[in-house]
Structure formats: C-alpha cells, structure tokens
Amino acid sequence: MSNPFDLTGRRALVTGANTGIGQAIALGLAQAGAEVICAGRRTCDETVGMISDAGGKASSVRVDFTDPMAGRGLFDDQAIDILINNAGIIRRNDAVDFTEEDWDAVMDVNLKALFFTTQAFAKAVLARGGAGRVVNIASLLSFQGGIRVPSYTASKHGVAGLTKLLANEWAAKGINVNAVAPGYIETNNTEALRADPDRNKAIVERIPAGRWGDASDIAGAAVYLCTPAAGYVHGAVLNVDGGWLAR
C-alpha cells in the first residue's frame, strides 16, 4: 500500500532554510523522505547537519535575494520537484515616514525574488515534462492590514495573489502552487514582540489556541502541501495561526 504522505525520491529546495520556519520545513521534508537543498544567504550548515544526523539527505547552496533575480540559476544543474519560497524580511516604520529603501528591500526579497525564482523553477519542471509543487510562505498580513509594516503587508498580499494566479495558470501543467500563512510563530523575526511583556500578553490573549506557534506547526502544513495527498489542492492559502483569523 503506497503512503500518500511519502516524499521518498523527491528533491526539494527551501529558501531561507538556515533558521526559523525554513529550517523546520527543511527538516519536515527530510523526515517525509525528500532530499533537501537548503538555500540561504548564509550557508545552511546547521540545518544540513540536523538532517544528516537524522539519517536524511541534504546539501546547502548560497543565494542572496538582495538581487531579486538571484534564484534563476538554482534549477539549472539538478531536477528539483519541490520549491518552498520561505525567505522573507520585514521593515517597521509609520507609513508616513516609510522610505523607498525599506519599500524596495522588502518587496525585492518577499515578492520579486519569489516570483522570478518560481518562474525559473516552473521553466525547469516544464522543460523536463515533470510535475512540481510550490509552497509560498505568506502571512496573516496576506489577509489583514497590520500596522507600521506597509511594504511587508503589500508584499504578503502579493504573495497570496500570485499563489492563486500561478495555481490557475499551472494546475493543468502538473504544478501545484499553494501557500501557508503563518500566524504568530516563535522565530528570530518575532523575538522583539515576545520580549515586550505587555505586547506578548496581548498577542497570546488574542490567539484562540492560547499560545505562540512553533516553526514545526508551519512545517506540518507546508510538507502536507508537497505530498501526493495534496494532489488536488491548487491555489490554497492555508492559515496556520492558532485560530487567529477565526476570531
């Protein structure tokens, strides 16, 4: 009996895999049997080590999306079946003071790099007549406005929109495109929020599950979307947020 959650024989590339959510997704994919290429601005030695220690297969590749076209060569040398677009940054400031530099920096990494990396992936998959899976990491701010993060909110709304457009264009070509929209997850990104006791209390009280999410909570959803079990899922933006948006 074949296991619809098994990724043995698949090769995945995860961007921003050296820490946080990307690292957890890389581990989850390896646990499901995939070979994982961990792409990072820095090398992903820790993630590769964790996967190797657990008996999985992983390697590391450098990519810096400060140049948003930097991902185009990632799929030239080996067949990759799964792309996880996880790399992302945030810049905080009042909308009235927000600079062009902060606007461009966030849009380049979170949206432009995501689009052109995904385009390169799809070209490679289609050229070899294969099938592929793309999972984009969106956000609660793909659905809500937030405050003091204008470029982040615009980029993450863009990620949700692109997920649907690409799913629509590629579903019939054998490429599933979906997204996971994390709520409040304990990573470096959110350390400052947790360090402020009042802010932390307000956040936890607002989350129906009553706790911050763990990066592994996001990995579960992302890995599922890569498995044969999710073969009929196209264009979904799956919120994994402890119930935040249900409230």
Site residues, ligand NDP (CB under 6 A): 16, 18-22, 40-42, 63-66, 86-89, 109, 137, 139, 182, 184-185, 187-190
CB of 192 to ligand NDP, least distance (A): 11
CB of 142 to ligand NDP, least distance (A): 9
CB of 162 to ligand NDP, least distance (A): 13
Is the Cβ of residue 122 or residue 149 nearer to ligand NDP in the bound state? 149
Catalytic annotation present for 224: no
Is the Cβ of residue 18 or residue 163 nearer to ligand NDP in the bound state? 18
Which tokens hold the place of 65?
A: 């999306």
Nearest to 72 by CA among 124, 138, 34: 124
Contacts of 108 (CB under 8 A, 6+ apart): 65, 66, 68
Which tokens hold the place of 184?
A: 């409040």
91 φ/ψ angles, rounded to the nearest 5 degrees: -130, 135
Strand extents, DSSP E, 26-157: 35-40, 58-62, 82-85, 132-137
Burial class of residue 53 in the structure, from the number of CB atoms within 10 Å of its CB (0-12 exposed, 13-18 middle, 19+ buried): exposed
Is the Cβ of residue 45 or residue 228 nearer to ligand NDP in the bound state? 45
Active site residues: 152
